[in-house]
């Protein structure tokens, strides 16, 4: 039952944000995650790019994603991120497997 964390962030302090990324990796270590996409310059087909830093991370479940976000280790990292950047969006989306939808057309 996959869950995807999508983030759109504008970085104000690159050095502090790099410190956040290191702390976030430590906080992620207990969880089975897959980094699916990280792109500072996506190909926009419609609309405007929402932020300068976009990412997608796959968690095994909504419970795992919430446990990560609510963990003490990520709380500490999150404080660094909030000082170093502006978070436009940070959301959790249920995967097609959880929604009972086909994962592909082929």
Range of the domain at 58: 3-42+50-99
Q: For the chain of 106 residues, list the mean pLDDT of each consecutive stretch of 10.
A: 93 96 97 93 87 93 97 97 95 83 66
Helix (H) or strand (E) holding 38: strand 33-39
Per-residue pLDDT, 85 = 96
Q: Does the residue 92 lie in any domain? A: yes
- pTM of the prediction? 0.86
C-beta separation of 96 from 103 below 8 A: yes
What pLDDT is recorded for position 104?
A: 66
What's the domain count of the chain?
Answer: 1
Question: What is the pLDDT at residue 99?
Answer: 62
d(CA 18, CA 48): 26
Specify if 67 maps to a domain.
yes
Is 104 a domain residue?
no
* Of the candidates 2, 9, 79, the residue with the CA atom closest to the CA atom of residue 34: 2
């Amino acid at each position: 039952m996959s869950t995807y964390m999508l983030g759109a962030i504008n970085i104000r302090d690159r050095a502090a944000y790099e410190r956040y990324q290191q702390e976030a990796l430590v906080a992620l270590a207990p969880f089975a995650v897959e980094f699916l996409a990280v792109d500072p310059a996506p190909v926009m087909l419609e609309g405007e790019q929402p932020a300068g830093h976009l990412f997608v991370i796959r968690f095994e479940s909504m419970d795992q994603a919430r446990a990560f976000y609510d963990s003490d280790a990520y709380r500490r990292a999150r404080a660094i991120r909030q000082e170093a950047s502006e978070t436009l969006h940070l959301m959790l989306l249920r995967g097609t497997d959880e929604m009972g939808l086909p994962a592909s057309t082929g």
